[in-house]
Amino acid sequence: MGNGSRESLVIDNTVDGLFRVNRRVFTDPSILEWERERVFERCWIYAGHESEIPHAGDFRARNVAGRPVILVRGSDGQVRVLLNTCTHRGSLVCWQPSGNARSFQCPYHAWTFSNQGELIGVPGEEAYSAAFDRQELALAVAPRVESYRGFVFMSFNPSMEGLVEYLAGAREYLDLVCDQSEVGMEIVGGTHLYSMRANWKLLVENSIDGYHAPITHQRYFEFLVEMGVDSARIRRTGAGRSLGNGHAVIESAPAPGGRPIASWAPMFGEATKAELAAIQRKFEDRFGPERAYRITQTNRNLLVFPNLIINDIMAITVRTFFPRAPDYMEISAWALAPIDERPEHRAMRLDNFLTFLGPGGFATPDDVEMLEACQRGFANREVAWSDISRGMTREHPLTNDDLQMRAFWRRWHELITVPEGIEAPLQPTVAI
Ligand code: FES
Ligand SMILES: [Fe+2]
């Protein structure tokens, strides 16, 4: 399969306002191979949050972009991404999902590595020749690791531009999330691990798809009204934006399900009303009314290309996922919250999180069902194209248009089609 067929995967007709994606991108194993090489091996990929490893020796072993890695804070305090494979014969050296360790001992022949990756123990080392070099046999590390305000990314592309440059316009939206606390944000303990029999890019689309919300999640909006939410808040307005390099966002206000930071909703109870109003005033003093409104009252669903979603809505979820097969992905999701939140406030936030975003919430099971249904539908290969044209001729695309998805697809297509050996240049924001 040559580049010619890659080029026919996306139709981007800005003259007539038609944007189509060939459904082969969701089913063809050779496309997944290209994605591994050209997307997951080249971009900055979210590995975890610094708050998950606050103390020296803390670690999280997880799969990132299909690789077993250890996100670890070494005894020297530095955050590293160690590649979880023994330099002896390959076994995983860290088998526990999380913990605190000064060293990792491989269970196969008991080679031992420090939490900074150095090889510090080899049983019967005298049997090796003088050429045996412990330093050379340290655990490998991801070639690039950088963090932005606690969000740790790694890249297997040594010539990748810096993370801040890569984040482009997405940085402003990460700031709107991070500015919700003066002392910092933290991942709340516990991970939602789940899977879907669907292509990973369907979850990218779905996570920034305002069009489906009132349809697929109709019951949630009915629930809100039953709880006493003013139905005018449900007809919210907002915009979809391309943020450069494939990143995109939908942003809208007011927040119908409330925002535990400082946007009150009836589910939070009358007693919290005054507290949230006081918090709002503090934000206004700190940031001025306009920025405070954006931070506290505005919902945003942010995609950091290719596979990090931050839904800062009725609670904040950090979600990332990776394909195991064209029709199967594994998803990890966490709740993010201000470190300095009072326990009662935290409980209210987590309740709001679980109501919509949790594994048994109003959203997640229905979204899983929809995406798996799309994947099943793709068996009808005669229907070759999916449509992503909505709002393409509108001057100011809305949250229920598809501009944000087109931003993703254009970058994806560019990375898939760029000639071998050439770095795809940074991509500016797109207006349609
Ligand atoms: S494979 Fe790890 S010690 Fe042999
Ligand atoms: Fe959804």
pLDDT tens readout for residues 50-100: 999 999 999 999 999 999 999 999 999 999 999 999 999 999 999 999 999
Mean pLDDT of 265-286: 96
Backbone torsions φ then ψ of 239, nearest 5 degrees:
-140, 155
The bound ligand whose nearest atom lies closest to the alpha carbon of 110 is: 1
Beta partners for residue 299, in sequence order: 252
44 Cα–ligand 1 center, Å: 30
3-state secondary structure of 408: helix
> pTM value?
0.96
In this predicted structure, what is the pLDDT of residue 113?
98
Ligand 1 atom, smallest distance to 109 CA: 3
The bound ligand whose nearest atom lies closest to the alpha carbon of 137 is: 1
83 Cα–ligand 1 center, Å: 14
136 Cα–ligand 1 center, Å: 15
* Ligand 1: residue whose CA is nearest its atom 4: 109
CA angle 258/264/265 to nearest 5° reads 60
Mean pLDDT of the chain: 95
* Ligand 1: residue whose CA is nearest its atom 3: 109
Is residue 3's pLDDT more than 60?
no
135 Cα–ligand 1 center, Å: 16
Tokens of 184: 């910092």
Backbone torsions φ then ψ of 343, nearest 5 degrees:
-55, -40
Strands 119-121 and 10-13: unpaired
Ligand 1 atom, smallest distance to 93 CA: 2
Residue 68: is the preceding peptide bond cis (ω within 30°)? no
The bound ligand whose nearest atom lies closest to the alpha carbon of 215 is: 2
* Ligand 1: residue whose CA is nearest its atom 1: 89
356 Cα–ligand 2 center, Å: 9
| Beta carbons of 300 and 247 less than 8 angstroms apart | no
Spatial distance between the Cα atoms of 220 and 209, rounded to a whole number of angstroms: 16
Using one digit for the tens of pLDDT, what is the confidence trace for 135-193?
999 999 999 999 999 999 999 999 999 999 999 999 999 999 999 999 999 999 899 99
In this predicted structure, what is the pLDDT of residue 423?
76
Mean pLDDT of 327-353: 97
3-state secondary structure of 122: coil
Using one digit for the tens of pLDDT, what is the confidence trace for 292-339?
999 999 999 999 999 999 999 999 999 999 999 999 999 999 999 999
Count the residues in the chain: 432
Spatial distance between the Cα atoms of 302 and 319, rounded to a whole number of angstroms: 10
In this predicted structure, what is the pLDDT of residue 236?
75
3-state secondary structure of 195: strand
Tokens of 356: 């919509």
95 Cα–ligand 1 center, Å: 13
Pocket of ligand 1 (CB under 6 A): 86, 88-91, 106, 108-111
